[in-house]
C-alpha cells in the first residue's frame, strides 16, 4: 500500500476488520520487527486533547528524534512485566510513577536522520484520566483517539492501523478471524453456541439483562421473563442464551445491590474535628499511619476519583469489589464479639492484605489500606464512673488491666490474652466513656493508658460540624461552600504534622477552653481550679 499523508479514513480499517475479533489484553506482548508499512502516523485517527475537563481512557504519546533503542534489553524488561524508569529508557518507561493500571503498546519507526519516532498507545481500563494526568504520563505530544461509529468496530480498525505502520512493534492485542474460544462444528450440527457471538452482541445481551432485572421482583415474573426471552422471542438480545448464564447474571445483580457501596458525598474533614479530639487522639493516630485515605493524599498520587469510604456492619457486605489504598473500609454498628478473632486480627493488620471467607464469597482488604472498627461495646467500670467529675482538662492514666476491663465486650467470649494483645499491637483505640476520652496507641506492650477529662459528654465534632453532619444524616447532601478550603487546610495540617513542623491554626471553636489550655500548655487556666497532679486513688 502506498504511503499517504493522512488522508486514509478510519472506515478503511473498520471495513478491513469486518468479521474479525479483537482479543482481550494478551498474557504476554506480541513483538514484530519489519519494514515501514504503507501507513503513517498522520493516517491514525488522532486529535488533540480536549480543552475542557473531559476524562479519557485511551490516549497516544508521540515522541520524535529518539536515539535508536536497545531492542533486546527493552523486550526482556517488558516481557518480565516491568515498565518502570529503573528498567526502561525514556520514552518507553512511564514518565511519572502512579498507582495505575495501564495497557501500553508501541510502534517504533525509523526517521531519515538516523533517529526514530516512538508512538505509544496507552489504555487505562480501571479509571478515566484527566488532561493533567495524561500530560504527566507522556514524554512527547499527547493525543486522544478520534472516535467514530461503534466503539468496538473503531478499536478493531485502530488496531489494524497500528499493524499497518510496520517498524518495531509491541502489541498487547491481536486481531483474528476466529475467536480463540470458538469450537469447530460439523456441517450437520445444530444448536446455539455462545462462543459464536461477537463481543458487541455479548455486551448488548448483558446490558439487556441489567436493564430488565429491576422489573423482576418476584420469582414468578423472573421465570416468565426468562422463558419468553430465551425460547420464544427471537428478537431478544439473549435469545437461546444458556439458562445458567442468565440465572447467574440475575443473581449477581440482586446480590450486588445490597453490598457496601462507596460513599462519595460525605463532606467532613479534619477541620470539623473538635480540637480536643484532634490533638489528644487523631494526631498520634496519623503519625502512626503509613497510608492516609484523605483528599490531599489522592491528589499527590494523581488520582482523580473522589475521596470516599465504604461502611458496613458485617464483613460479608464488603465483598463485590476489593478494598483500595485510597478508600477506607469501616466496620460500623456491628457486634465485634460475634466476629471470629482471626478476622479481627487480620482486619487490624494493615501491613498485610487480608482475605475473609464469607457466606456468598470473600472480602478483600489490601495492604496499606486504612481500616476502622466502630462499635458501642464497652464496660462502664467503677473506675471510669469515679472519674466523671474530675476537673476538666486533667489527664489521668489507667492501668493496662483497667483498660482491658473497659473494652472487654469487644472481644468474643473466652478470647485468650495472646489474641487480645495481637489486636492491641496493631490498632489505635479511642473510647469515649461519658466525660472521659480514652486513647491507647497501637503497641504490644502492656502500657498505662491516658484519659482526658472533658467536663462534658465527649463530642468528636465542633458545634458547626455537628450541624453539618445532621444535614448529611437527613439526606441534605449539598457540598458546603467551605469544603475546598477545608481540604486544603487538612492537607497542610497533615503535611506539617508528619514533617514535625508547626501546625496551621484550625480556627476551631473551643467548647472547653480550660481542658484545652491544661492539655497543651501543661498548666491550669487562670480561671480554672487547679487539677490534682496525680490520678485519684483507685
- pLDDT-based confidence at residue 73 (cuts at 50, 70, 90): very high
Per-residue pLDDT at 2 exceeds 80: no
Q: pLDDT digit string (tens) for 261-284?
A: 677 788 888 999 999 899 999 999
Asked if the model's pLDDT at residue 409 lies above 60, the reply is yes
Q: What is the three-class DSSP state of 30? A: strand
pLDDT of residue 535: 34
Query: Closest by alpha carbon to 230, among 210, 215, 216, 209?
Result: 209
Q: Mean of the per-residue pLDDT values for the chain?
A: 80
For the chain, the C-alpha Rg in angstroms (whole number) is 30
The pLDDT tens digits for 464-502 are 888 888 888 888 878 888 888 988 898 889 888 888 888
In contact, 212 and 54? CB cutoff 8 Å: no
pLDDT for residue 354 is more than 90: no
Instruction: Give the pLDDT confidence score for residue 421 in this predicted structure.
Output: 92
Which segment of 123-132, 314-323, 483-492 scores lowest on mean pLDDT?
A: 314-323
CA dist 208 and 193 (Å) reads 19
pLDDT for res 404: 95
Residue 270's φ and ψ, nearest 5 degrees, are -60, -25
Domain ranges of the chain: 10-176, 194-256
Would the pTM of this model clear 0.75, i.e. be above it? Answer: no
Beta bridge partners of 110: 116
Q: Is the distance from CB of 386 to CB of 402 less than 8 angstroms?
A: no
Question: 99 vs 64, which has greater pLDDT?
Answer: 64
Q: What is the per-residue pLDDT across 321-340, written as a single tens digit (0 to 9) for each?
A: 677 777 788 888 777 777 78
CA distance 293 to 305: 12
Cα 115 to Cα 92, 112, 475, distances in angstroms: 15, 7, 61
pLDDT at 352 over 80: no
Q: What is the pLDDT of residue 110?
A: 93
**Contact between 182 and 196 (Cβ < 8 Å):** yes
Three-state DSSP class for 254?
helix
Range of lowest pLDDT (166-180, 256-270, 406-420, 501-515): 501-515
Amino acid at each position: 500500500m502506498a504511503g499517504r499523508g493522512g488522508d486514509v479514513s478510519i472506515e478503511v480499517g473498520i471495513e478491513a476488520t469486518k468479521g474479525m475479533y479483537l482479543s482481550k489484553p494478551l498474557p504476554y506482548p506480541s513483538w514484530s520487527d519489519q519494514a515501514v508499512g504503507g501507513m503513517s502516523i498522520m493516517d491514525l485517527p488522532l486529535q488533540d486533547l480536549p480543552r475542557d475537563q473531559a476524562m479519557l481512557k485511551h490516549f497516544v504519546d508521540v515522541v520524535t528524534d529518539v536515539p535508536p533503542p536497545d531492542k533486546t534489553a527493552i523486550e526482556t524488561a517488558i516481557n518480565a512485566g516491568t515498565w518502570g524508569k529503573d528498567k526502561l529508557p525514556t520514552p518507553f518507561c512511564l514518565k511519572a510513577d502512579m498507582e495505575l493500571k495501564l495497557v501500553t503498546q508501541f510502534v517504533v519507526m525509523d526517521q531519515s536522520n538516523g533517529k526514530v519516532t516512538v508512538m505509544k498507545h496507552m489504555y487505562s481500563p480501571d479509571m478515566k484520566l484527566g488532561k493533567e494526568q495524561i500530560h504527566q504520563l507522556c514524554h512527547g505530544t499527547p493525543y486522544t483517539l478520534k472516535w467514530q461509529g461503534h466503539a468496538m468496530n473503531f478499536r478493531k480498525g485502530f488496531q489494524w492501523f497500528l499493524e499497518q505502520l510496520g517498524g518495531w512493534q509491541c502489541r498487547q492485542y491481536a486481531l483474528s478471524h476466529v475467536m480463540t474460544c470458538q469450537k469447530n462444528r460439523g456441517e450437520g450440527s445444530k444448536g446455539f453456541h455462545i462462543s459464536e457471538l461477537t463481543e458487541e452482541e455479548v455486551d448488548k445481551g448483558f446490558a439487556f439483562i441489567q436493564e430488565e432485572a429491576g422489573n423482576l421482583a418476584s420469582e414468578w415474573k423472573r421465570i416468565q421473563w426468562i422463558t419468553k426471552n430465551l425460547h420464544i422471542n427471537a428478537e431478544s438480545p439473549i435469545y437461546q442464551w444458556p439458562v445458567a448464564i442468565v440465572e447467574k447474571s440475575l443473581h449477581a445483580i440482586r446480590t450486588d445491590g445490597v453490598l457496601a457501596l462507596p460513599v462519595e458525598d460525605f463532606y467532613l474533614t479534619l477541620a470539623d474535628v473538635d480540637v480536643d479530639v484532634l490533638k489528644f487522639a487523631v494526631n498520634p493516630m496519623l503519625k502512626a499511619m503509613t497510608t492516609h485515605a484523605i483528599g490531599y493524599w489522592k491528589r499527590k498520587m494523581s488520582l482523580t476519583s473522589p475521596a470516599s469510604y465504604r461502611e458496613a456492619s458485617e464483613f460479608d457486605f464488603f465483598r463485590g469489589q476489593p478494598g483500595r489504598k485510597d478508600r477506607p473500609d469501616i466496620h460500623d454498628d456491628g457486634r465485634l464479639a460475634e466476629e471470629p478473632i482471626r478476622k479481627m486480627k487480620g482486619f487490624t493488620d494493615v501491613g498485610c492484605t487480608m482475605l475473609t471467607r464469607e457466606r456468598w464469597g470473600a472480602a478483600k482488604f489490601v495492604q496499606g489500606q486504612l481500616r476502622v472498627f466502630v462499635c458501642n461495646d464497652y464496660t462502664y467500670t467503677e473506675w471510669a464512673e469515679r472519674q466523671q467529675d474530675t476537673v476538666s482538662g486533667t489527664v489521668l492514666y489507667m492501668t493496662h488491666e483497667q483498660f482491658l476491663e473497659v473494652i472487654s465486650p469487644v472481644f468474643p467470649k473466652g478470647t485468650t490474652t495472646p489474641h487480645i494483645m495481637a489486636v492491641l499491637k496493631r490498632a489505635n483505640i479511642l473510647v469515649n466513656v461519658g466525660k472521659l476520652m480514652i486513647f491507647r496507641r497501637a503497641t504490644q506492650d502492656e502500657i498505662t493508658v491516658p484519659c482526658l477529662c472533658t467536663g462534658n459528654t465527649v463530642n468528636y465534632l465542633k458545634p458547626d460540624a455537628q450541624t453539618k453532619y445532621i444535614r448529611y444524616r437527613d439526606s441534605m447532601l449539598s457540598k458546603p461552600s467551605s469544603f475546598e478550603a477545608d481540604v486544603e487546610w487538612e492537607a497542610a495540617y497533615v503535611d506539617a504534622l508528619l514533617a514535625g513542623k508547626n501546625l496551621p491554626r484550625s480556627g476551631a471553636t473551643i467548647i472547653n477552653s480550660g481542658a484545652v489550655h491544661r492539655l497543651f500548655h501543661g498548666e491550669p487556666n487562670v480561671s480554672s481550679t487547679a487539677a490534682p497532679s496525680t490520678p485519684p486513688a483507685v
